[in-house]
Amino acid sequence: MSNIVLIAGGGPTGLMLAGELALAGVPAVVIERRTEPAQVSQGMAIHGRTLEVFRQRGLTDRIPPGAMTPWPRTPFALLWLDLATVDERDYTYVLPQWRTEELLAARATELGVTIMRGTELVGCSQDDTGVSVTIRSAAGEEVLRAGYVVGCDGEFSVVRSGAGIGFPADGMRYYGVMGDVELEPGTENDFVSGVFPAGMSSAIPLRPGLVRLMTVEFETDRPDDSVPVTAGELSQSVGRITGRTPDIGEPHWVSRFGNHTRLADCYRKGRIFLAGDAAHVLFVSGTQGLNTGIQDAVNLGWKLAAAINGWAPPGLLDTYEEERRPVGRRVVTHARAQMALLHPVDRIAELRRTVEEFLAYDSVNQFLLKAATRDDYPGLGERITDLAVSVSDNKTTVGELLRPARGVLLDLSGGRAQLASIADGYGDRIDIVSAEPTDETGAAVLLLRPDGHVAHRGTGDPDDDGLRLALSTWFGRPKAGLAPAGPGKAEAR
Output the CATH code of domain 388-492.
3.40.30.120
Domain ranges in the chain?
5-169+261-373, 174-258, 388-492
Calculate ∠ Cα 142-148-152, nearest 5°.
Answer: 80
Contact 135, 121 (CB under 8 A): yes
Does pLDDT of 488 surpass 60? no
Does pLDDT of 83 surpass 80? no
Phi and psi dihedrals of 186, rounded to 5?
85, -5
Give the Cα separation of 8 and 12 in Å (integer).
Answer: 12
Candidate from 179-183, 187-191, 465-469 with smallest mean pLDDT: 187-191
Label residue 130 left, alpha or beta by phi (over 0 means left) and psi (-120 to 50 means alpha): left
Give the Cα separation of 324 and 310 in Å (integer).
Answer: 23
- What mean pLDDT is reported for the chain? 86
Does pLDDT of 250 surpass 90? no
Label residue 303 left, alpha or beta by phi (over 0 means left) and psi (-120 to 50 means alpha): alpha
DSSP calls for 155-204? TT-HHHHHHT----B-S--EEEEEEEEEPPTT-------EEETTEEEEEE
DSSP 264: -
Phi and psi dihedrals of 340, rounded to 5?
-60, -40
The CATH classification of domain 5-169+261-373, taken from the options 3.40.630.10, 3.50.50.60, 3.40.50.2300, 3.40.50.12780: 3.50.50.60
Task: Please report the pLDDT score of residue 441 as a whole number.
Answer: 67
Give the Cα separation of 10 and 12 in Å (integer).
Answer: 7
Q: pLDDT tens digits for 15-61?
A: 999 999 999 999 999 999 999 988 776 777 888 889 999 999 999 99
Does pLDDT of 174 surpass 70? yes
Those residues with Cβ within 8 angstroms of residue 110's Cβ, 6 or more apart along the chain or in another chain = none
Q: pLDDT tens digits for 266-313?
A: 999 999 999 999 999 987 655 678 899 999 999 999 999 999 999 999
Does pLDDT of 241 surpass 70? yes
Does pLDDT of 493 surpass 50? no
Q: pLDDT tens digits for 117-128?
A: 999 999 999 999
Output the CATH code of domain 174-258.
3.30.70.2450
Contact 492, 437 (CB under 8 A): yes
Does pLDDT of 189 surpass 80? no
**Cα–chain center distance at 148:** 20
